[in-house]
């Protein structure tokens, strides 16, 4: 690739979009995303298929997006 010419293709998504995609995996594999590794264990060993990696990355992105939102400090309440 010639230097200085790499292009980027941006796609904007929301946490809700990610949640919808997660729901598809959860329905297909029958486990919630916080236990997704369970769906890929055989004899105790994790089988890192492409689907596992795709789902796991999606879930991490979802957590990163939603946890960031929750990190915002709650408004202080005035003492009565």
Partner 1 sequence: MLPRWVRSLDDYWSWFAEQLDYSGGRLEDDSVQVQIVEDEATGERLALILGRQRVIFHGGSWLEFRVVVDRSLEQVEYNYHYSSAQGELVWRMDKHPGHGELSHIHRADGRHYRYPEVDITDVLSEILKQLE
Q: Is 3 in the site for partner 1 (CB under 8 A)?
A: yes
Rounded to whole angstroms, what are the CA distances from 55 to 1, 29, 71?
30, 11, 24
Q: Is 69 in the site for partner 1 (CB under 8 A)?
A: yes
Contacting residue, 29, 32, 37, 51, with partner 1 by CB under 8 A: 37
Structure tokens at 40: 């890929």
CB of 76 to partner 1, least distance (A): 20
Rounded to whole angstroms, what are the CA distances from 30 to 12, 25, 54, 59?
28, 8, 16, 15
Per CB under 8 A, residues contacting partner 1 are 1, 3-16, 18, 37, 40, 46, 48, 52-54, 56-58, 60-61, 63-69
């Amino acid at each position: 690739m010639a230097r200085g010419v790499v292009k980027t293709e941006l796609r904007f998504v929301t946490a809700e979009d990610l949640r919808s995609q997660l729901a598809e995996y959860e329905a297909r594999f029958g486990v919630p995303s916080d236990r997704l590794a369970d769906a890929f264990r055989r004899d105790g060993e994790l089988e890192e298929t492409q689907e596992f990696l795709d789902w796991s990355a999606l879930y991490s992105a979802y957590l990163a997006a939603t946890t960031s939102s929750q990190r915002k400090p709650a408004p202080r309440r005035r003492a009565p």
